[in-house]
């Protein structure tokens, strides 16, 4: 019987206000800090290198379940820009890089608050998030500000666990915290490569929030088109 449900964060529980809105803040912040420390680089160069870093981080996560935490991302970016950072510069860059999403606050996905409130009547809830440039410390603040943190009994972030979805370790750690077996849990997320693949690899059920993507070839237990689909499925799986 279903006892717990874990959720992905980005594009499942929260979303950016506009495409690349946080990335724009990141680029502006890095450009200004580097100029202030007299190691200025053109904004477009910083934008290009930052985008390559983001692609590198995602590729490592998707293909290997490997986490590249923000401090390593910044070190890679600075190396590509041929900048040797002082401790003070690195401290300022880290703060700017990892908190940009607080300046351009994400939004809760429509209807997610009421869904989580209702789901808690039937199952325990946890969050499993691949963090990228927004570490767990910042993500917790976002969830708190949006009034969503209270719904989850456990929060797992890849930069804190040391691996990323689809690596089995981060899913197993969530299940251990929840005190359930894989067959007693389901995971909901929007990325078939990390959320669906990772959950099913350890025997969890996987619900895929498709967001209009083609469903052919994606092996999941339920394609989610709206939150009512989730609620019906959970009630069925819990026998209520």
Residue 78 has pLDDT above 90, yes or no: yes
**Best CA proximity match to 11, nearest among 173, 166, 191:** 191
Q: Verify cis geometry, omega within 30 degrees of 0, for the bond prior to 158.
A: no
CA distance 176 to 240: 25
Q: What is the pLDDT of residues 180-232, one digit of tens each?
A: 999 999 999 999 999 999 999 999 999 999 888 877 888 999 999 999 999 99
Predicted confidence at residue 216, as pLDDT, reads 81
Residue 126 has pLDDT above 90, yes or no: yes
Predicted confidence at residue 184, as pLDDT, reads 98
* Contact between residue 68 and residue 52 where contact means Cβ atoms under 8 Å apart: no
Q: What is the pLDDT of residues 55-66, one digit of tens each?
A: 999 999 999 999
Q: By percentage, how much of the chain surpasses pLDDT 70?
A: 100
Written as six digits, the tokens of 63 are 């293909």
| Mean pLDDT for the stretch of residues 9-35 | 93
Instruction: Say what the pTM is.
Output: 0.95
Q: By percentage, how much of the chain surpasses pLDDT 90?
A: 93
Residue 139 has pLDDT above 80, yes or no: yes
Q: What is the pLDDT of residues 34-56, one digit of tens each?
A: 999 999 999 999 999 999 999 99
Banded pLDDT at 116 (limits 50, 70, 90): very high
Predicted confidence at residue 226, as pLDDT, reads 94
| Mean pLDDT for the stretch of residues 129-147 | 97
| Mean pLDDT for the stretch of residues 99-124 | 97
| Mean pLDDT for the stretch of residues 166-179 | 98
Residue 19 has pLDDT above 80, yes or no: no
Predicted confidence at residue 201, as pLDDT, reads 97
Task: Give me the long-range contacts of 38-47 (CB less than 8 A, separation at least 24).
Answer: 39/83, 39/89, 41/81, 41/83, 45/81, 46/77, 46/81
């Amino acid at each position: 019987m279903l006892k717990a449900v874990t959720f992905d964060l980005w594009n499942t529980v929260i979303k950016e206000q506009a495409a690349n809105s946080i990335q724009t803040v990141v680029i502006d912040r890095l450009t200004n800090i580097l100029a202030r420390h007299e190691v200025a680089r053109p904004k477009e160069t910083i934008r290009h290198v930052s985008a390559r870093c983001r692609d590198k981080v995602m590729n490592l996560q998707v293909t290997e379940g490997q986490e590249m935490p923000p401090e390593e991302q910044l070190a890679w970016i600075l190396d590509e820009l041929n900048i040797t950072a002082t401790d003070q510069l690195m401290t300022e860059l880290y703060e700017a890089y990892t908190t940009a999403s607080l300046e351009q606050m994400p939004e809760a996905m429509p209807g997610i608050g009421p869904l989580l409130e209702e789901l808690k009547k039937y199952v325990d809830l946890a969050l499993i998030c691949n963090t990228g440039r927004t570490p767990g410390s910042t993500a917790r603040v976002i969830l708190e500000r949006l009034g969503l943190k209270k719904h989850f009994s456990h929060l797992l972030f890849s930069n804190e666990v040391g691996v990323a979805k689809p690596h089995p370790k981060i899913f197993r750690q969530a299940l251990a915290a929840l005190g359930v077996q894989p067959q007693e849990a389901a995971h909901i997320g929007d990325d078939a490569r990390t959320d669906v693949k990772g959950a099913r690899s350890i025997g969890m059920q996987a619900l895929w929030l498709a967001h209009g993507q083609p469903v052919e070839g994606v092996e999941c237990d339920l394609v989610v088109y709206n939150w009512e689909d989730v609620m019906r499925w959970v009630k069925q799986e819990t026998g209520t």
